[in-house]
Structure 1
Amino acid sequence: MDIGTAKLPPWEWRGLPHHLFDVLDVTDEAAVARYQPEARRIVQEIRERGSTPILVGGSGLYVSSVVFDFRFPGTDTALRARLEAELAANGPGTLFQRLLVRAPETAKRIGSSNGRRIVRALEVAELTGAAVSGALPEEPKPWVPVRVLGLAAPREQLVQRLDARVERMWADGLLAEVEGLIPLGIERGVTARRAIGYAQALAELSGELTRSEAQAQTQRLTRRYARRQLSWFKRYPGIHWLDHDDPQLVVAALARL
């Protein structure tokens, strides 16, 4: 999964090691509770070598799970399988109503359409009797000393860049990439088949969406995801915002480290 994820190709790494690329199969489920310990292990190894790790993202929850003192409940394979079977059979509506009773604030934050997150929240509620957080703590404590930098852009310019990126994904061969992933099982994947862009490409290949519909849906979902990212990172304590268009951006970033 290269094009739809905007994965940096090796020839652009400039000799710097990059980590946690291509570590999951398309049939694997991405889970922040599994990502956190692996990412922290790599961070520790880099620090022990006397180098500075740079975490780039991305999903607010995944970044925060490494940067801040997040703790995650365990999992129950049988319980998860039962909830996922119920989701597949009946859709998210019934599960969402159950979550509203068990953890109303969590349910409101997740929404009624995100079946995967509803299942996880119900799993946590049944295992621990508590609500899954999935949100930045009120007073986040750094796991290790950290400097947080963010790139700021005017909203109009950001929207234009996001829409153009989606068009470029199709122009660069997203459909061919997805066609190549079908024999590997992407249609059975819990995470990959639902990823923004990949879900729409699969729908276009199956005839459910036209090209223009698939691109428009991807653009809309990408813009919504970007808004969520911005609202998440704006709550980071001590974040330094940098002008993304600054010709001296690298110098400005290094000055903050």
Structure 2
Amino acid sequence: MENKNEKVIVIIGPTAVGKTKLSIELAKRFNGEVISGDSMQIYKGMDIGTAKIKQEEMEGIPHHLLDIKSPEESYSVAEFQSMVRPLITDITNRGKMPMIVGGTGLYIQSVLYDYKFTDSKGNEQLRSELEKKAAIMGKEALYEELVQIDPVSAKKIHPNNVRRVIRALEIYYDCGKTMSEVEHTNEANPLYDVALIGLTMDREQLYKRINYRVDLMVEEGLLEEVKGLYKTGLRDCQSIQAIGYKEIYSYLDGVQSLDSAIEQLKQNSRRYAKRQLTWFRNKMNVEWFDMTPPLSMDEKVEEIFQYIAGKFSGKEN
């Protein structure tokens, strides 16, 4: 499947770097519609903690894949891929420019490249057996099993990320190939005529912005938002593992103080930003733009606009 006649703008980068504001300004210039590339903004009622764009911030620009799932539902890369590719075609056919904006690298990679899945739905019975194994023997034993089977993938997955460990084992036992072998076979050439924009920033400045954003989230009612989910009895599901929710849950469970939970949230957000940058630099062919002041947003928008216009016209440097 190749859609080289379909143009796609993609804006990626770490949390709090300025993707949202830039995407709106570029959407105005390119007659664009935004597709969220964030794996958590799909959930209804999870607005503050996911830094979901507000209605007034959209400035009339259509946004897709926001608020499409209930928090108790799961969501996969394969599901994202199957939703976004038809969306790109639909937006293009209406004479608009599709723009994918977000920070979940694997999701975006799965759309842009010939990313194949062994079984998009997964093997539920096998997954259930592996979950029971983790509960009985411990997550460490499960991770060690992955180290023996697929050391390449094991290096990329944190031992505490049981869901990812189980998924890697599931792939191996279900199809006889390791996750790293499956990923290696995925085609490296993009399927679309894509302008892949990466935003970066001086680390100290970025970390200050992340800390400020967390303080702002608390002011805007993050605690109340998470309490609402907590009171429904929601736990042990994909959405609550998100940064911004799991930390407040630990406070509500009485595990730590609110101040400690907020500090942990800031630290986890900074670490996540660092992992995002590392992932993007290692996995995708990105044109990077430094968003560190003193250049204004208007100047950055103009610079990036010129790059994209040149790339799509074949006049890039």
AA of the residue aligned to 1:231:
T
CA distance in 1, matches of 2:225, 2:96: 35
Aligned to 2:138: 91
- 2:108 is the alignment partner of 1:60: no
Identity of aligned residues (%): 37
AA of the residue aligned to 1:105:
V
CA distance in 2, matches of 1:78, 1:211: 39
Scaled by the length of structure 1, what TM-score is found?
A: 0.92
Secondary structure in 2 matching 1:112: coil
* Structure 1 residues 124 and 238, CA gap change in structure 2 (3 angstroms): closer
> Cα offset for 1:122?
0.5
CA distance in 1, matches of 2:142, 2:284: 34
- Does structure 2 retain, via aligned residues, the 8 Å contact 1:124–1:130? yes
CA distance in 1, matches of 2:66, 2:164: 23
- Does structure 2 retain, via aligned residues, the 8 Å contact 1:27–1:188? no
Match of 2:85 among 40, 57, 74: 40
Match of 2:195 among 127, 141, 147: 147
> Cα offset for 1:43?
1.1
Secondary structure in 2 matching 1:148: strand
Aligned to 1:172: 220
Say how many residue pairs are matched.
256
Aligned to 1:18: 63
Secondary structure in 1 matching 2:243: coil
* Structure 1 residues 128 and 182, CA gap change in structure 2 (3 angstroms): same
Map 1:153-168; keep pairs closer than 5 Å: 153-168=201-216
Map 1:1-257; keep pairs closer than 5 Å: 1-74=46-119, 75-133=122-180, 140-189=188-237, 191-235=238-282, 238-244=285-291, 245=293, 246-247=295-296, 248-257=299-308
CA distance in 2, matches of 1:193, 1:175: 14
- Across the aligned residues of Structure 1 and Structure 2, the Cα RMSD in angstroms comes to 2.0
CA distance in 1, matches of 2:175, 2:186: 21
CA distance in 1, matches of 2:118, 2:107: 15
Bigger share in strand: 2
Structure 2 unpaired stretches of 5+ = 1-45, 309-317
AA of the residue aligned to 1:168:
L
Structure 1 unpaired stretches of 5+ = none
* Structure 1 residues 215 and 15, CA gap change in structure 2 (3 angstroms): same
- Does structure 2 retain, via aligned residues, the 8 Å contact 1:91–1:115? no
**Which digits, 9 at most, give the CA deviation of each residue in 1:62-105, with x for residues without a partner?**
11111222111211111112212322344311111111121111
> Cα offset for 1:116?
0.7
CA distance in 1, matches of 2:171, 2:208: 39
